[in-house]
Amino acid sequence: MKDNMIPKGAGIVLFNEKDEVLTLLVDEELAKKNGGVLDLPKGVIEKNETVWQCAVRETFEETGINITTANLEWGLDPIIHGNLTMFLARTKEHGSLNRNPKSGIYEHQMLLWDKPSTIFSSLYGYLKPILEQAILTTGIS
């Protein structure tokens, strides 16, 4: 598949008031495929949807957390790595595991909050550069 045909995705690296990051525990099959057991809230940008709209929608669909620009404590500039754009936000909400609204299945097994340095080794390999940049931008490790 050519690079310009790879679906572009967006999401949000969510921090809470304890400076922990929200991650999503995945099943064994996804862990093997992506080189880690932890994912971040993100997904594919749909037709006629902006990057920001996708990030907000996917975060809500996967975690039940509503994010607005007021949550963007570190500004509006996202982290872009390959075809993935991730915003940085802070929330007071804990979140809840939700079923995918289209398929009706749970895409993840559990929501986890922990320090960025603690989750790093268990995060999907392709998300590690994003978390590294999030740590640099926020100063939270």
State the residue range of the domain holding 27. 9-138
Residue 49 near residue 57, CB atoms below 8 Å: yes
| Alpha helices for 17-127 (secondary structure H) | 28-34, 51-63, 116-119
The answer to the question of residue 3 being in a domain is: no
Whole-number pLDDT of residue 5: 55
The answer to the question of residue 1 being in a domain is: no
CATH of the domain at 18: 3.90.79.10
Instruction: Tell me the whole-structure pTM to 2 decimals.
Output: 0.92
The answer to the question of residue 75 being in a domain is: yes
Helix (H, G, I), strand (E, B) or coil at 14: strand
Query: Mean pLDDT of residues grouped by 10 in the chain (141 residues)?
Result: 66 98 92 91 95 97 96 96 97 92 87 96 96 97 94
